Amino acid sequence: LSDRGPDSSRIEIVDGCPVGFARLAIMGLHEEGMQPFHLKGSVSVCNGELYDFRPVKSELSKEYHFMSDSDCEIILP
């Protein structure tokens, strides 16, 4: 789990299933950008970087309040 990034890590149990994340903070450098992300009973973890996410985030922001600057937070809404 620690191979992805040295910045922090987290393991949560979601509906009996372990969900882990080792963070390499490139976008969303604050604690709010730490994964996994949760929204209305759904959970997401993204091992990667989403390019050109700002136009998508801008459109989604019309109906959703984002909690962080993370590019990967756009996956759930």
Average pLDDT per run of 10 along the chain, which is 77 residues long?
67 92 74 87 89 96 93 93
Q: How far apart are CA 9 and CA 33, in angstroms?
A: 12
Neighbours of 61 (CB within 10 A): 12
73 CB-side CA count, 13 A: 20
Residue 12's pLDDT is 92
Residue 47's pLDDT is 81
Neighbours of 48 (CB within 10 A): 10
Report pLDDT digits (tens) over 18-37: 998 888 777 666 787 788 99
Residue 28's pLDDT is 61
Domain contains 1: no
User: How many folded domains does the chain comprise?
Assistant: 1
Domain contains 13: yes
Beta strands in 2-60 (DSSP E): 8-14, 17-23, 37-39, 42-44
The answer for residues whose C-beta is within 8 angstroms of residue 17's C-beta and 6 or more apart is: none
pTM: 0.75
Q: Which domain holds residue 69?
A: 8-75
Domain contains 45: yes
